[in-house]
Structure 1
Amino acid sequence: MKNSVKAAIIQKFFAAACLLAFSDGAFAQSEAITGPSTVEIPAGWFWQGSDGIERKYAYDIDEQVYGHDISRRNRWYDIEGDKWRVHLLPYHISKTPVTNDDYAKFIKDSGHAAPDISKDEWDRQGLIYNYDTIVPFLWKKGRPPKGRGNHPVVLVSWQDAQAYVEWLSEKTGKNWSLPSELYWEKAVRGEEGTFYPWGNIYDPALLNSGDRGPFDTTPVGQYDAGPFGLLDGVGQVFEWTSTSGQAGYRFVKGGSWDDRGCGVCRPAARHARPEHLRHILIGFRVMYRD
């Protein structure tokens, strides 16, 4: 073989090797874990909790929509903290709930169990939804349901969410956590203490709730941003917080795609759920402080 031919072959081989190395490097870079996109919540005061006027409004709209006064008779909203001024230092919180695509990176890297639940396990939780209702949300072979990558992840327990933030902290070097009720509420509600992120009048056009449908999760970011640029803070899915309601229970906040009214969608509203619960109405978002 002539030297010129040999040189040409070696040159092509070298070029191909360089391209492969570059591609591998690019792929590795694309797989780097940086965490969800965040918004910064500045230091300052805000109004947390609710007062009698706000709770009465919540009971009234529930009764108007549902045609009964179960929430009022059971005093669902009376467990909310009384309205008070709180000062928080700055922090960063994920702009949207953690999505299926976000969570899939965690599943792939850590080997943690994907969001899946058997019919027997589901039935033991004692929820009103039959198993057929949850099938569209189940993961298969460690992958999210087709076409739902940009939907909030659901069927995650509080322990699952905790495992995610521990993994994310290790991967990024930042101290990620679930937000406490205080940090969650300021980020969603803003500083002025309005009933909803947009004001004091409920508007079903501004969130994914059961008032207008589609009676399912939707891709995140379909509605107007809240006071700090945060998205999907009300409606869409309830979100786990780090705040304990009682032993073995954590507060969830924000309401969901299945709620109407929507007294329970107010950022001040709260109710506790078992830490082990996996529900199609509950997801989470994450935060960190510098």
Structure 2
Amino acid sequence: MFTSLLRHRTFTLGLVCAIGLLCSQCDRVAQSQADFDRAECEASGEFAWVEAGEFIAGSDRAERDYGYRISAEGASDDPERIAAIEQRLRQSRWFEWEEERQVRSLAAVCMGRNLVANADYKEFLEATGHRLPGISEPEYREQGFLVHPYSEVERFLWKGGEYPSGERRHPVVLVSYEDAVAYAQWRGDRDGASYRLPTAAEWEKAARGTDERYFPWGSEWRAGATNAAPSGIWHTSEVGAFELSRSPYGVEDMAGNVFEYTSTLEQRRGRTVSVMKGCSWDDSIGFCRAAYRHTRPIESRHILFGFRLVRDR
């Protein structure tokens, strides 16, 4: 299948970028690793090298159908209820916004092995005085997408400048895209390096590798593979706690735990939105495929959203 797609593809990434059909970041992404090699990337142990080259991105009808089916099967053991859940999911068209299955080619990327954790983010706050992760109840209601009541948000709130007890290595949440960019800038200034958020394509390749797999571990769902709804945790977990969610490149939590902001931005109804990748601790399992994507406004702050960094030099 992979060979066939390579042989018959119509456009290469370079051509698409040249004619301006991709995001404005194409040129920067293509050049980001020009003077940066694998040894430098992996020297600290914090980053993993995702080698340059082609991979299969997006999904086809068969994969989307699989996503709907396993999401329903993961929610119930009753055949009638499974059928009803699957029908509802299909009517909501959750997976119809994924990119069509295609060959993409990317430059090498130095991807953060782990999500940015509370302890990491606290260093940034103490150094800069940046606002704490959080959102007030009125702000939360105005923001919308109220999947969880505010009473559930409260257990994620920082108090007295401290993250929730016992969650030092949990991913930081209740931060916006803009907060994540500010963290990357601060970290770069501190380290004498250049950091940013991954693009959606970089994230997807880092999650699924080059062999067409749906999940970091393969193309069949595996019980206990990740912190999603079937785990029963119903909260964030320590970064890197689920071995099967480690990608072929050694990047942790590439399914489950939290959705991740990417630097791929779009315009929706007059608002700038970030393409979110991954799935969160409350998600059905079909959402944990690497091809899944949705968007949220860049000012959003939610208990399901976190981020990781890419290092450019």
TM-score range, shorter chain: 0.7 to 0.9
In 1, Cα distance between equivalents of 2:60 and 2:112: 28
In 1, Cα distance between equivalents of 2:120 and 2:281: 20
Counterpart in the other structure of 1:7 = none
- TM-score of the pair, normalised by structure 1: 0.84
In 2, are the aligned partners of 1:36 and 1:98 still within 8 Å (CA)?
Answer: no
Counterpart in the other structure of 1:83 = 101
- TM-score of the pair, normalised by structure 2: 0.78
Structure 1 residue 168: deviation in Å? Answer: 1.4
Q: 2:303 aligns with which of 274, 280, 284?
A: 280
Q: 1:254 aligns with which of 275, 278, 283?
A: 278
Q: Does 1:122 align with 2:131?
A: no
Q: Does 1:238 align with 2:259?
A: yes
Counterpart in the other structure of 1:57 = 66
Q: How does 1:1-290 map to 2 (within 5 A)?
A: 37-66=46-75, 67=82, 68=85, 69-126=87-144, 127-224=146-243, 225-246=246-267, 247-260=271-284, 262-290=285-313
AA matched with 1:91: V
In 1, Cα distance between equivalents of 2:150 and 2:309: 29
**Where does the alignment leave 5 or more consecutive residues of structure 1 unmatched?**
1-33
- Describe the SS at the equivalent of 1:149: coil
Q: Using a 3 Å threshold, how does the CA distance of structure 1 residues 82 and 177 change in structure 2: closer, same or farther?
A: same
AA matched with 1:270: R
Structure 1 residue 36: deviation in Å? Answer: 8.5
Structure 1 residue 242: deviation in Å? Answer: 0.9
RMSD after superposition: 1.7
In 2, are the aligned partners of 1:35 and 1:172 still within 8 Å (CA)?
Answer: no
Structure 1 residue 35: deviation in Å? Answer: 9.0
Could you list the per-position Cα deviations for residues 233-260 of structure 1 after superposition, in whole angstroms to 9, with x for gaps in the alignment? 1100000011124241111111110012
Counterpart in the other structure of 1:8 = none
In 1, Cα distance between equivalents of 2:73 and 2:238: 29
Structure 1 residue 128: deviation in Å? Answer: 2.7
Could you list the per-position Cα deviations for residues 250-280 of structure 1 after superposition, in whole angstroms to 9, with x for gaps in the alignment? 11111110012x1111110000011111110
AA matched with 1:81: E
- Describe the SS at the equivalent of 1:147: coil
AA matched with 1:192: D
User: More deviation in 147-156 or 89-98?
Assistant: 89-98
Structure 1 residue 112: deviation in Å? Answer: 0.5
In 2, Cα distance between equivalents of 1:88 and 1:243: 14
In 1, Cα distance between equivalents of 2:218 and 2:44: 31
AA matched with 1:169: G
Could you list the per-position Cα deviations for residues 83-115 of structure 1 after superposition, in whole angstroms to 9, with x for gaps in the alignment? 122222222111111100111111111110010
Q: How many residues align?
A: 256
AA matched with 2:229: G
**Where does the alignment leave 5 or more consecutive residues of structure 2 unmatched?**
1-42, 76-81
In 2, are the aligned partners of 1:90 and 1:289 still within 8 Å (CA)?
Answer: no
In 2, Cα distance between equivalents of 1:257 and 1:43: 31
Could you list the per-position Cα deviations for residues 17-48 of structure 1 after superposition, in whole angstroms to 9, with x for gaps in the alignment? xxxxxxxxxxxxxxxxx998111111222111
In 2, Cα distance between equivalents of 1:245 and 1:36: 33
In 2, Cα distance between equivalents of 1:176 and 1:35: 14
In 1, Cα distance between equivalents of 2:44 and 2:182: 14
Structure 1 residue 200: deviation in Å? Answer: 0.9
- Structure 1 vs Structure 2: percent identity of aligned residues? 39
